[in-house]
Amino acid sequence: MANIKFVNVKKSYGNHVIINNLNLEIHSGERLVLLGPSGCGKSTILRMIAGLEEVTDGDLYMRNERVNDIPPGKRNVGMVFQNYALYPHMTVKENITYALKVKKVPKHEIEKRLDATAEFLQLKQYYDRKPSELSGGQRQRVALARSTVKNSDYFLLDEPLSNLDAQLRISAREALMDIHHEYKQTMVYVTHDQIEAMTFGTRIALLNKGELQMLDTPENVYHRPANIFTATFIGNPPTNILENVHYTNGLLTIGKQSLQLSDDWKNYVEKSTYHQIVLGIRPEHIHLTKSPQAGSIRAKVKHSENQGSNFAIHLDVEGENIIAIEAFNIFKAGEEVFVNITMDEIHLFDKATENNLGYPENIIRKKKVASGTDEHLLEVLQ
Ligand SMILES: Nc1ncnc2c1ncn2[C@@H]1O[C@H](COP(=O)(O)OP(=O)(O)OP(=O)(O)O)[C@@H](O)[C@H]1O
């Protein structure tokens, strides 16, 4: 049972509070990704699990035991750092086996584990090389092997792929998935890269300024963001947020124009408690046309950005900036166009709390059917 549980955990350096009141349970054997902008406290959380940082207040449990005062060496944790932290004067073989020798693991057992791991990560031919004689990807595999041979219950990874190029990242991610499949450790993976989080995590813990914003599967984080921060952090371009909308009787009014809500949404909003509604729409859920369609609203094209496989069209809707994604760049700056929104895909938030109001039953059901696979998510996030 290699679970991890933070209960009311606080971390501060002097008067500077980094983590305010963290409550987070990581299941045994899952791949949990800690995601969030730079400085939000991801590495600090990982380092508290490793025992490299003390918990200022609250309780941290591993295997259901309180570990606040247990030193790092006794937590049965393997860790991979962004810079790999290999010993430059040691060979690959020595780097991989060093920790086992220090722990006085019997020689035949060390050889057995080394062989299995090196075979698995294709490192045997590099045994006698020093880290300086390896490529970035090979060094990264040595760092993974060094943690893997420890057979630890927990595998902690701090931006382990950020020094690799795009191609190597994919193969390194596959190697990590294979390691997890084979050894089934509890993996906690820190990144600020949403694509990495989506592809690697069985669940994502999204953080901002030391506070947990959402803890859920990649699908739910994308399709049902808990709040405005989550909606705008996940997705590229981010979710459009329209703050100046007013709800009355099934209509969302933006300036002089209105969007008609479906009966499901109307009933749902009228049963909800909120102060003022904020509308969220992902750029991929907007379709532009040159002539008006049923339910469309007018907008003016500001400019467009070539994103490779598609175009991000920046628009002005009644003084609000929104972005739509289109396959073809047939819209010119200054041109009037019509915005067609897939109304089942909208998100409504409360301006005061910034929390999501939730979704009508029918729409949740439809979303489940339509939400699809990781590949779909990746396509829209790239
Ligand atoms: N030893 C320290 N003393 C004082 N402040 C620190 C210390 N270590 C980290 N911090 C501060 O704690 C905050 C969180 O740092 P942390 O490294 O956990 O963020 P992060 O989310 O991992 O960021 P990044 O993605 O940039 O690595 C930052 O504001 C950082 O400056």
Residue 378 pLDDT more than 90?
A: no
Tell me whether 0.85 is exceeded by the ipTM: yes
Helix (H) or strand (E) run with residue 143 in it: helix 136-148
The Cα–Cα gap between 134 and 163 comes to 14
pLDDT per residue as tens digits for the range 2-52: 999 999 999 999 999 999 999 999 999 999 999 999 999 999 999 999 999
Give yes or no for residue 13 CB within 6 A of ligand 1: yes
Domains of the chain: 4-223 (3.40.50.300), 237-367 (2.40.50.140)
Asked if residue 94 lies in contact with residue 87, where contact means CB atoms within 8 angstroms, the answer is: yes
What is the 43 CA–ligand 1 centroid distance (Å)?
A: 7
Q: Nearest residue CA, atom 23 of ligand 1?
A: 39
Give yes or no for residue 43 CB within 6 A of ligand 1: yes
**Crossing angle between the packed helical segments 361-371 and 263-271, to the nearest 10 degrees:** 120
Give yes or no for residue 40 CB within 6 A of ligand 1: yes
Helix (H) or strand (E) run with residue 9 in it: strand 4-13
Q: What is the DSSP letter of 313?
A: E
For 262-290, what is the mean pLDDT? 94
Residue 68 pLDDT more than 60?
A: yes
Residue 375 pLDDT more than 80?
A: no
Q: Tell me if residue 175 falls in helix, strand or coil.
A: helix
Read off the pLDDT band of 170 (50, 70, 90).
confident
pTM tops 0.95? no
Q: Nearest residue CA, atom 14 of ligand 1?
A: 41
The Cα–Cα gap between 330 and 325 comes to 12
Read off the pLDDT band of 377 (50, 70, 90).
very low
Q: Read off the tokens for 353.
A: 């709390």
Cα distances (Å, whole numbers) of residue 377 to 194, 206, 236, 372: 11, 17, 11, 8
Q: Which atom of ligand 1 is nearest to the CA of 210?
A: 14
Residue 305 pLDDT more than 60?
A: yes
